Structure 1
Amino acid sequence: MKVIIAGGGTGGHLFPGIALAESIIKRYQDARIVFVGTQKGLEAKVIPRIGYELRFISIKGFIGKALGDKAKSLWSLAKSMSESKKIIDSFSPDIVFGVGGYASLPLVLMASFKKVPSIILEQNTVPGLANKILGKVASAIAITYPETVEHFPREKVYLTGTPIRKRILEGDREKAKELFNLEEGRITVLVFGGSLGARRINKAMTDALSYLLPLKNSIQIIHQTGEADYNWVLAEYRNLSFKTTVIPFIYDMPEAYSWADLIICRAGASTVAEITALGKASILVPYPYAAYNHQEMNARRLLSRGACELILDREINGEILAKKINRILNNPEIRREMEMVSRAFGKSNAGEKIIEIAESLLRRKQ
């Protein structure tokens, strides 16, 4: 099987694509997979490190750009359509997957023109511009949330969940204990705000420490800060002598997840998919500038069933965050209920479901 996985830009789009690739390789060991993205997207750094073939197109973003930049974006789309045609002609894929982001747009459009079956993945409640367009031409649409069906032609839509990397489910607790200097018997709180960190979360968490002093001897904290905030966050923890591991970036996230009893983080699609597949209790702080406010919508869906607590970015401070933490950690039954509902949301076999849809499309074509 020859597969193109197009899209990326951010981890929320890229990592489901990587997870899907893992599922394809597991099922078709001789599969050849090519990722297509841009030189400025996260894929340019990540894909070469994990060994997949990567090709670039010239597409640029459109949403939120000034008028002059939008004109350049339209020109880059025309150029990227030509580049996409060359990629498809030279590679002859059996199927094309669009995992979101503007880099998926020209590849899936060209696949439609060339009569190559295509599937787009929509990880958020409300689709972005690229997927809104591609929903009209894609052969099938794999969604994470039932509400998303109203944005697409219903006959093409499949509720699959978001693919997650198998490694996420296989965290090594012994390795984690050494990596993060963890102690048995303590409740572990994991805090992160994406690869660059999140200053609002960092500030709220450090301000919360004075309200969490009664828990100091019973909890331990793993906190990913981002490079910019690392030094001052570390100093705040040391001032109050909390047991913590402060780190600019967590490379071994499966290990961090394996010990986490409570997670405090943003509400991107991939993150939500991972913490629900693992059945973790969480306090979600949606990134307020996400396109179409999709992070808040992701979080509110979990909140409506009791799978998480929610604090809006504009409202978060140390006192509010500490109240949420205390409520969850001081009431084991609340945490257990959140974990149970979270796990009910999670779908660890989304990649396999999407491959089955692809196989159905290929059988129809034959």
Structure 2
Amino acid sequence: MFPALALGQKLTEMGSDIMLITDDRGARFITSGVNYETVPSIAFFGKSIVKKVLSLGAYFKGVRISKKVIDSFNADAVVGFGGYTSFPAIQAARAKKIPYFLIEQNSVPGRVTRLTQKRARLVFFGIPPAPHMDKCKNKVVITGNILRKTVVLDKRSEGESILVQGGSQGARSLNNLAFELAAKFPGERFILISGKRDFEEMTARVRPSNLEIIDFAEQPEKLYARAKIAISRSGAMALSELMVNGIPSIFVPFPYSIDKDQLYNASWARDNDAAYIAEEGEIDCVEYLLKDLIERRDLREKMSVNARRLVPTNAADIIAERIEQCLAA
């Protein structure tokens, strides 16, 4: 919800009235003073027949509610953030023949973006789209992802630890990898964000004395400040936060994604000399790349500069201004 709230705040500052449409999960993160309506939502793709039937019912109900919201709010435009929760509102905008805009965090757009981008006014990408997905070139605007101001550290000096993280849910393979690497590099300090699911199991294991384990980072910027190098999944937000802080990274993309979005995210960083990539399970490869980064400060500095250069810190400003310009034209 944060990107939607941040963009809504920016548009409000520019004089627009904002109404958020989300589901019950998203509503939990909305602060007081923000207008919102909830719609039912159940993911359709990859589910059982029963779930698909239920999701279709939720979808049609969501479209009806969204149409009523658009009418009562007298909306001039709709902005969709790519997830299936935004699908009913986008379809309602199409039915009402009002303009809509799409925001896509990853290099490979999600299914909702792919289904609706043809009629969108503009499609804002947080990471440049993968070549095989760039089907609406005239509509694509590269803005960077909308990041919390608190996670962008000004003049961050290099930390002393190696941060290992598997995304918001953790990743068991990276958790195990952290144990192995900490044992192989006893002179380095490691911080592992294990995820809540595996935290008890990880802390119950005998571990090297140079490995610190936490379950979840409420304030990730504090860990970024301590990091010299990161080993991480390459979801759009994790990748963007590491890069905007200039942390040299070894990305290990989640291998089971149908669209391989994490692989394409990481490939963009690697192709711009801002990161390394290792495949899941390639322990020797990660060890080799980590040793290279530890021993070569010049390489870390080069990666850091390149990473910072690639990630804008004002994505919400860029998106809001382009939306206003497009509607005023």
Q: Deviations over 1:86-116 (max 9, x none)?
A: 2212222333211111111111121233233
- Is 2:315 the partner of 1:350? yes
- Per the alignment, in what secondary structure is the counterpart of residue 229 of structure 1? helix
- Per the alignment, in what secondary structure is the counterpart of residue 19 of structure 2? strand
2: CA distance, partners of 1:149 / 1:24? 32
Q: Deviations over 1:305-326 (max 9, x none)?
A: 221111222x243x44333222
- Is 2:293 the partner of 1:328? yes
Counterpart position of 2:64: 82
Q: Taking structure 1 as reference, are residues 209 and 67 closer, same or farther at Cα in structure 2, changes over 3 Å only? A: same
8 Å Cα contact 1:98/1:108 also seen in 2:
yes
- Is 2:172 the partner of 1:190? no
Q: Taking structure 1 as reference, are residues 67 and 225 closer, same or farther at Cα in structure 2, changes over 3 Å only? A: same
Q: Taking structure 1 as reference, are residues 35 and 257 closer, same or farther at Cα in structure 2, changes over 3 Å only? A: farther
Shift, 1:252, TM fit = 0.7
1: CA distance, partners of 2:2 / 2:179? 29
2: CA distance, partners of 1:320 / 1:148? 27
8 Å Cα contact 1:171/1:256 also seen in 2:
no
1:211 counterpart (164, 167, 184): 184
Counterpart position of 2:8: 21
- Is 2:146 the partner of 1:163? yes
Counterpart position of 2:246: 279
Q: Deviations over 1:252-310 (max 9, x none)?
A: 11222233221221111122222222222111111223341111111112122221111
Counterpart position of 1:38: 23
**What is the RMSD computed on CA atoms of the aligned residues?**
2.6
Counterpart position of 1:306: 273
1:229 counterpart (198, 223, 228): 198
2: CA distance, partners of 1:47 / 1:355? 20
- Per the alignment, in what secondary structure is the counterpart of residue 142 of structure 1? strand
Q: Deviations over 1:2-49 (max 9, x none)?
A: xxxxxxxxxxxx443344234435x43x6543332222x4x244335x
Select between 144-153 and 86-95 the one with higher mean Cα deviation: 144-153
Q: What is the TM-score normalised by the length of structure 1?
A: 0.80
Shift, 1:51, TM fit = 6.2
Q: Taking structure 1 as reference, are residues 161 and 185 closer, same or farther at Cα in structure 2, changes over 3 Å only? A: closer
1:72 counterpart (17, 40, 54): 54
The letter for the 2-side match of 1:229 is D
Counterpart position of 2:208: 240
Shift, 1:146, TM fit = 4.9
% identical equivalent positions: 28
- Per the alignment, in what secondary structure is the counterpart of residue 185 of structure 2? helix
2: CA distance, partners of 1:253 / 1:172? 16
Q: Taking structure 1 as reference, are residues 323 and 208 closer, same or farther at Cα in structure 2, changes over 3 Å only? A: same
Q: What is the TM-score normalised by the length of structure 2?
A: 0.89
Counterpart position of 1:5: none
2: CA distance, partners of 1:32 / 1:192? 38
8 Å Cα contact 1:205/1:321 also seen in 2:
no
The runs of 5 or more residues in structure 2 that have no matched partner are none
1:153 counterpart (130, 133, 136): 136
Counterpart position of 1:288: 255
2: CA distance, partners of 1:334 / 1:63? 42
Counterpart position of 1:111: 93
1: CA distance, partners of 2:246 / 2:272? 13
Q: Taking structure 1 as reference, are residues 82 and 66 closer, same or farther at Cα in structure 2, changes over 3 Å only? A: same
- Per the alignment, in what secondary structure is the counterpart of residue 253 of structure 2? coil
Instruction: Give the number of the structure with larger relative contact order, counting CA–CA contacts within 8 Å between residues 6 or more apart.
Output: 1
Aligned residue pair count: 328
1: CA distance, partners of 2:309 / 2:266? 15
Q: Taking structure 1 as reference, are residues 273 and 24 closer, same or farther at Cα in structure 2, changes over 3 Å only? A: farther
1: CA distance, partners of 2:181 / 2:223? 21
Q: Taking structure 1 as reference, are residues 306 and 159 closer, same or farther at Cα in structure 2, changes over 3 Å only? A: same
1: CA distance, partners of 2:30 / 2:231? 27
2: CA distance, partners of 1:201 / 1:150? 29
Q: Taking structure 1 as reference, are residues 19 and 185 closer, same or farther at Cα in structure 2, changes over 3 Å only? A: closer
Q: Taking structure 1 as reference, are residues 51 and 245 closer, same or farther at Cα in structure 2, changes over 3 Å only? A: farther
8 Å Cα contact 2:161/2:229 also seen in 1:
yes
8 Å Cα contact 2:108/2:133 also seen in 1:
no
The letter for the 1-side match of 2:170 is G
- Is 2:34 the partner of 1:61? no
The letter for the 2-side match of 1:287 is F
8 Å Cα contact 1:191/1:224 also seen in 2:
yes
